[in-house]
């Protein structure tokens, strides 16, 4: 379980501010931003060096270790770019498949977010509801989704809805768990503040618990977003009807030993996963970054 401390004392002891609480005095208390140019360069430089090293090792293996007949196992990087990405046939297939994966995973994620948040809110309302429902969230997390995939195929067919369903099942638990954790870690003093005013259950939820849980909810979304992408690709491997997604493309290319295209597809899937993770991180920072250190 992720632990998130809700209370951040950022400017404790800045009592020089206390000295001038005079009306009209413009004292702005800004937290120093650690974004000097030097700091920024040092964050991208080391990963870049690692990347170059990896590419170099790649070339070494591809050129000198592998027998040319077996080069599909690790094609040369420029071949991946030329045959896998730039070649119009491969490019079109890649774009169509990527779009399909985007739709499946994001729809699955959206459903998982809604179900997860509603489920967690229900559990936060009463201990008995939590006791009744939480075990099923845990079970959902524990059963290997792959084991259920044949059943899902029987029941819901081998197309779009089954793929989405796999995404939902994979992405659901972090949403349930994080949201519940966020709702339950509301500061006791804040709860009492609301209680003293006789605030209703709904008011307390909408004005206190839910906003307080937002950082945890966004952290859950970021985890679930990555998992939804995994779910879309895994689902593809089993449900092969309808428009192919990246997963189908991957299994097609691998069965045809088209190494360049296979690598291009895998890289695309990976980049999509990273992009989604980054986007949801950005979303979280946008939503709660002003008051919560969302990193």
Partner 1 sequence: MTVTAPAPNAPTHAKSDTLLDFSNVEMTFPDGTIALQGVDLVVKRGEFVTVVGPSGCGKSTLLRIASGLETASDGTVALGTDRIGYVFQDATLLPWRNVTANVELLAELHGESKKDRAAKAKDAIDLVGLKGFEKHLPKALSGGMKMRASLARSLTLDPELFLFDEPFGALDEITRERLNDELIRLFNAKQFAGLFITHSVSEAVYMSTKVVVMSGRPGKIVETFDVPFPQPRDPEIRFTPEYAALVGEVAHALRKGHGHS
* Residue 203 found at the interface with partner 1 (CB under 8 A): yes
Among 45, 65, 118, 193, binds partner 1 (CB under 8 A): 193
Interaction with partner 1 in 262-291: which residues (CB under 8 A)? 288, 290-291
Q: Is 11 in the site for partner 1 (CB under 8 A)?
A: yes
Q: Please state whether 106 falls in left (phi above 0), alpha (psi between -120 and 50) or beta.
A: alpha
Task: Check if the beta carbon of residue 107 is closer than 8 Å to that of residue 164.
Answer: yes
Contact flag: residue 295 with partner 1 (CB under 8 A): no
Based on the shown chain and the rule CB under 8 A, indicate whether residue 190 belongs to the binding site for partner 1: yes
x/- map, 210-229, partner 1, by CB under 8 A: -xx-x---------------
| 94, 80 contact by CB (below 8 A) | no
197 part of the interface to partner 1, by CB under 8 A: yes
Among 119, 160, 263, 292, interactor with partner 1 by CB under 8 A: 292
Taking the complex as a whole, the smallest distance from the CB of residue 285 to partner 1 amounts, in Å, to 14
14 in contact with partner 1 (CB under 8 A): yes
- Tell me: does residue 34 bind partner 1 (CB under 8 A): no
26 near partner 1 (CB under 8 A): yes
Question: Does 88 help bind partner 1 (rule: CB under 8 A)?
Answer: no
């Amino acid at each position: 379980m992720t632990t998130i401390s809700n209370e951040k004392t950022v400017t404790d002891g800045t009592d020089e501010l206390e000295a001038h609480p005079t009306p009209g005095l413009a004292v702005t208390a800004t937290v120093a931003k650690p974004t000097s140019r030097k700091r920024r360069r040092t964050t991208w430089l080391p990963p870049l060096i690692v990347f170059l090293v990896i590419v170099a090792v790649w070339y070494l293996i591809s050129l000198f270790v592998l027998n040319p007949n077996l080069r599909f196992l690790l094609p040369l990087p420029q071949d991946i770019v030329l045959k896998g990405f730039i070649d119009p046939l491969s490019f079109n297939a890649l774009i169509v498949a990527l779009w399909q994966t985007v739709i499946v995973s994001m729809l699955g994620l959206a459903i998982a977010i809604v179900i997860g948040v509603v489920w967690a809110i229900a559990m936060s309302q009463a201990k008995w509801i939590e006791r009744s429902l939480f075990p099923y969230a845990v079970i959902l997390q524990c059963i290997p989704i792959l084991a259920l995939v044949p059943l899902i195929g029987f029941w819901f067919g081998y197309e779009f809805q089954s793929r989405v369903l796999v995404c939902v099942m994979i992405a659901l638990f972090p949403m349930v768990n994080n949201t519940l954790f966020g709702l339950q870690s509301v500061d006791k003093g804040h709860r009492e503040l609301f209680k003293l005013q006789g605030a209703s259950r709904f008011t307390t939820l909408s004005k206190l618990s839910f906003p307080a849980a937002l950082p945890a909810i966004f952290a859950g979304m970021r985890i679930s977003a990555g998992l939804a992408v995994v779910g879309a690709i895994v689902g593809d491997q089993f449900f092969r009807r309808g428009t192919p997604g990246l997963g189908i493309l991957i299994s097609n290319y691998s069965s045809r030993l088209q190494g360049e295209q296979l690598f291009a597809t895998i890289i695309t899937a990976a980049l999509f996963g990273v992009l989604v993770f980054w986007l949801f991180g950005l979303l979280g920072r946008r939503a709660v970054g002003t008051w919560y250190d969302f990193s």
